[in-house]
């Protein structure tokens, strides 16, 4: 029982980070209908930025976070202006291919700048230890959960109550109508990419504090896709619930089934994909997504 | 300007012909003659490159039918190649089948697995389908690693070279001929598949799925057919690849290859048989350029930096093509031809 509860708790905290990554993805999707395959690479860059500012430059945590966010903002603006704006009006595949190309470039850049090695900064982030009976919450994760909750809350408020949030939701609905209403669509797109970058970088720093960074960390983006699909592509709340569910399920599956499998299992890596296939076959719009109705 | 000036189609047969003028026939035979005499005047290195290009052309033809014509985007093509590769590899290595019996099984198996992972395409499209095919890639590779006692798992699987009677395709030149015959057949098949009823259905689905369905195209059957055909090509290519290397490992079918195949389609031009060849040849030659320039760069910067620079360059090429030439090299080639045919009266 303790083993089970331990799996649940660590799954929950992992799931919260998945949710945060997935939200970055959902935001771009909500505004510009673009599927950002490179979201996992933002996370990886975030992890390396955290390493640079915290370990190489010895900045305090708050300053590192601000610096990383500043870099993320510049990155988001550049990406939108240089690569995605020329593609407005192009088919979906072009945009997806562009983000894949961006992912390749980021991978190359990360290897170029940071050498592509495994970097760890354990114990640099503040930790809170919490034990409930036999179960311990991973200390770095607790701070991660808090940051995630705050970020998610800010984003939800932004979407619901601010004017730019309204503009972003409207752009998702219909680009042309929004333009005729006098809203600058390009600004909205830029904003959404900036938010996605910032969210990705923050989750990268959290994940980096827990398990270190390496180039392969961008694979976590693939898990975020499973989260997004399970939750429904245009639902932030769905992303949170799905993130937590998937984190728990993945931990339980890996904990109980891996010992039974030959070749050491590795079920945690493949689990998100099995979820993706099942969701796509049986409930393509996810748990909380909107069912799209098509017209000719 | 599909035809040279002064040439007019006067019958239905002429209208349907792929090679319309004598010049085109002469060029075709000149090219084939050049291709099949390559081993006479090129070294082993060049033959290896050409063989790999041939195998990739077969695979990307399949992807082109699936993605370029039917608009079912797949980023799991290397995974489907792995299915064909391992089917053929296991049949020949464990059961002692001949390559010629194993190859159709490999193609069929890859096609069936393709249908299995194409099932979500009945309900979803665009990004969702991409996710399903990415999932296919990872799940297939995971399964291969799990069943290690028959697939060899991470250690790989030794595969015999194909043979006819006593003749074994052992030398580079003989395997080059084998691959090129298959590549020519694949090109011929791919060109003609899209001219059949099924091909027109694929194009209808690509252009507007809903309209196609209303017109009576059976989406269910044709989408799965597209997956089947696309993956059969992949299966053949995968089988040819492992029998060439005489060894099968999962490292031959990485996720990045799947992405890169799609990149080749974009560079070459989607929905065009010529585009496939343009894309594969240009990007593979670029790879070779990286292999040649890499060591020179490595003298200036560290080898690691050289490797990452090549990665960045690959990404940038796709970005540049998406922005400046979204219809690919095949379209540019058409423009050049039209310009040449109309010159000096360009209007």
For A294, the closest of B124, B210, B263 (CB atoms) is B210
Predicted confidence (pLDDT) at residue B197 exceeds the cutoff of 80: yes
Q: Is position B230 within any domain?
A: yes
Predicted confidence (pLDDT) at residue A202 exceeds the cutoff of 60: yes
Best of B76, B130, B135 to mutate (most A CBs within 10 Å, chain A): B135
Predicted confidence (pLDDT) at residue B1 exceeds the cutoff of 60: no
Report pLDDT digits (tens) over A117-149. Answer: 788 777 666 666 667 667 777 666 777 778 878
- Cα-atom radius of gyration of chain B, to the nearest Å? 21
Q: Is position B340 within any domain?
A: no
pLDDT at A72: 94
pLDDT band at B300 (very low <50, low <70, confident <90, very high): confident
Q: Is position B316 within any domain?
A: no
pLDDT at A117: 78
Under an 8 A CB cutoff, do A97 and B318 touch?
A: yes
In this prediction, residues B85-112 reach a mean pLDDT of 92
Domain that holds residue B49: 45-282
Under an 8 A CB cutoff, do B147 and A261 touch?
A: no
CB < 8 Å to A108, chain B: 308-315
Domain tally, chain B: 1
pLDDT at A30: 76
How close A282 gets to chain B, by Cα (Å)? 8
Report pLDDT digits (tens) over B125-164. Answer: 777 888 888 889 989 998 888 888 888 777 888 888 888 8
In this prediction, residues B199-206 reach a mean pLDDT of 93
Under an 8 A CB cutoff, do A100 and B262 touch?
A: yes
pLDDT band at B178 (very low <50, low <70, confident <90, very high): very high
Under an 8 A CB cutoff, do B210 and A295 touch?
A: yes
pLDDT at A114: 85
- The nearest alpha carbon in chain B to A84 belongs to B323
Q: Is position B20 within any domain?
A: no
How close B71 gets to chain A, by Cα (Å)? 9
Predicted confidence (pLDDT) at residue A294 exceeds the cutoff of 70: no
> Which residues 102-161 in chain A show a CB within 8 A of chain B?
102-105, 107-112, 115-116
CB < 8 Å to A101, chain B: 263, 315-316, 318-319, 322
Under an 8 A CB cutoff, do B262 and A296 touch?
A: no
In this prediction, residues B93-101 reach a mean pLDDT of 89
CB < 8 Å to B154, chain A: 263
pLDDT at A123: 66
pLDDT band at A14 (very low <50, low <70, confident <90, very high): confident
In this prediction, residues A262-275 reach a mean pLDDT of 73
Under an 8 A CB cutoff, do B146 and A263 touch?
A: yes
Best of B77, B142, B211, B261 to mutate (most A CBs within 10 Å, chain A): B142
Predicted confidence (pLDDT) at residue A296 exceeds the cutoff of 60: no
Mean pLDDT, chain A, rounded, equals 82
pLDDT at B242: 92
pLDDT at A126: 67
Beta carbons of A33 and A92 less than 8 angstroms apart: yes
- The nearest alpha carbon in chain A to B320 belongs to A83
In this prediction, residues A23-51 reach a mean pLDDT of 86
Q: Is position B127 within any domain?
A: yes
pLDDT at B79: 94
> Which residues 91-110 in chain A show a CB within 8 A of chain B?
92-94, 96-98, 100-105, 107-110
Report pLDDT digits (tens) over B55-70. Answer: 999 999 999 999 999 9
Report pLDDT digits (tens) over B269-296. Answer: 888 889 999 999 998 888 888 778 777 7
Q: Is A56 an 8 Å CB contact of chain B?
A: no
For B322, the closest of A98, A105, A296 (CB atoms) is A98
Q: Is position B7 within any domain?
A: no
Best of A115, A263, A292 to mutate (most B CBs within 10 Å, chain B): A263
> Which residues 254-293 in chain A show a CB within 8 A of chain B?
261-263, 266, 269-270, 273-274, 276-277, 280-281, 284
Q: Is position B21 within any domain?
A: no
Beta carbons of B51 and B183 less than 8 angstroms apart: no
CB < 8 Å to A80, chain B: none
> Where is average pLDDT lowest: A210-224, B131-145, B167-181?
A210-224
Share of chain B above pLDDT 70, in %: 99
| Domain spans in chain A, listed from the N-terminal domain onward | 2-215
In this prediction, residues A257-271 reach a mean pLDDT of 70
Q: Is position B329 within any domain?
A: no
Under an 8 A CB cutoff, do B308 and A109 touch?
A: yes
| Residue B300 CB contacts under 8 Å (≥ 6 apart), including other chains | none
Predicted confidence (pLDDT) at residue A184 exceeds the cutoff of 80: yes
Pairs across A and B, CB distance < 8 A? 141
Mean pLDDT, chain B, rounded, equals 88
- The nearest alpha carbon in chain A to B258 belongs to A100
In this prediction, residues B174-200 reach a mean pLDDT of 93
Predicted confidence (pLDDT) at residue A38 exceeds the cutoff of 70: yes
């Amino acid at each position: 029982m303790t083993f089970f509860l331990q799996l649940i708790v660590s799954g929950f905290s992992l799931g919260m980070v998945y949710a945060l990554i997935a939200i970055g993805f959902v935001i771009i999707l909500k505004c510009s209908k673009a599927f950002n395959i490179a979201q996992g690479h933002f996370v990886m860059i975030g992890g390396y930025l955290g390493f640079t500012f915290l370990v190489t430059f010895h900045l305090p945590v708050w300053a590192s976070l601000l610096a990383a966010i500043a870099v993320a903002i510049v990155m988001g603006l550049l990406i939108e202006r240089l690569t995605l704006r020329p593609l407005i009006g192009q088919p979906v595949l072009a945009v997806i291919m562009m983000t894949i190309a961006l992912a390749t470039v980021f991978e190359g850049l990360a290897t170029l700048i940071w050498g592509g090695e495994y970097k760890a900064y354990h114990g640099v982030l503040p930790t809170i230890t919490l034990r409930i009976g036999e179960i311990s919450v991973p200390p770095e994760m607790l701070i991660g959960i808090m940051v995630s909750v705050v970020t998610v809350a800010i984003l939800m408020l932004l979407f619901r109550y601010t004017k730019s949030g309204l503009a972003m939701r409207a752009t998702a609905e219909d680009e042309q109508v929004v333009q005729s209403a006098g809203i600058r669509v390009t600004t909205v797109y830029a904003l959404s990419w900036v938010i996605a970058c910032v969210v990705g970088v923050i989750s990268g720093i959290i994940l980096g504090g827990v398990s270190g960074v390496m180039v392969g960390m961008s694979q976590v983006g693939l898990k975020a896709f499973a989260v997004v699909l399970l939750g429904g592509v245009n639902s932030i709340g769905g992303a949170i619930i799905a993130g937590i569910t998937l984190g728990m399920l993945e931990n339980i599956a890996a904990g109980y089934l891996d010992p039974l499998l030959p070749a050491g299992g590795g079920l945690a890596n493949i689990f998100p994909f099995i979820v993706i296939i099942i969701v796509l076959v049986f409930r393509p719009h996810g748990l909380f997504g909107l069912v799209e109705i098509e017209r000719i | 300007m599909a035809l040279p000036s002064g040439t007019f189609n006067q019958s239905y047969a002429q209208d349907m012909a792929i090679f319309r003028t004598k010049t085109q026939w002469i060029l075709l035979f000149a090219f084939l003659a050049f291709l099949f005499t390559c081993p006479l005047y090129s070294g082993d290195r060049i033959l290896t490159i050409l063989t790999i290009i041939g195998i990739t052309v077969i695979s990307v033809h399949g992807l082109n039918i699936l993605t370029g014509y039917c608009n079912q985007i797949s980023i799991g093509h290397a995974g489907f190649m792995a299915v064909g590769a391992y089917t053929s590899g296991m049949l020949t290595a464990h059961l002692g089948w001949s390559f010629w019996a194993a190859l159709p099984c490999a193609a069929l198996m890859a096609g069936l697995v393709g249908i299995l992972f194409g099932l979500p395409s009945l309900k979803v499209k665009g990004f969702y389908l991409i996710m399903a095919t990415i999932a296919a890639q990872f799940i297939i590779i995971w399964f291969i690693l799990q069943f290690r006692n028959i697939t060899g798992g991470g250690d790989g699987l030794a595969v015999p070279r194909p043979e006819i009677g006593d003749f074994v395709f052992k030398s580079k030149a003989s395997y080059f001929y084998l691959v090129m015959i298959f590549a020519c057949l694949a090109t011929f098949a791919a060109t003609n598949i899209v001219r059949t009823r099924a091909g027109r259905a694929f194009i209808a689905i690509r252009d507007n799925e809903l309209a196609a369905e209303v017109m009576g195209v059976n989406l269910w059957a044709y989408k799965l057919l597209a997956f089947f055909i696309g993956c059969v090509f992949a299966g053949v290519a995968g089988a040819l690849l492992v029998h060439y290397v005489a060894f099968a490992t999962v490292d031959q079918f990485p996720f990045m290859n799947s992405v890169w195949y799609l990149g080749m389609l974009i560079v070459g031009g989607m929905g065009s048989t010529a585009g496939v060849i343009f894309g594969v040849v240009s990007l593979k030659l670029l790879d070779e350029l990286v292999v040649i320039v890499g060591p020179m760069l490595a003298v200036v910067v560290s080898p690691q930096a050289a490797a990452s620079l090549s990665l960045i360059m690959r990404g940038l090429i796709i970005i540049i093509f998406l922005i400046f030439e979204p219809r690919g090299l095949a379209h540019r080639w058409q423009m050049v031809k039209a310009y040449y045919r109309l010159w000096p009266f360009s209007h």
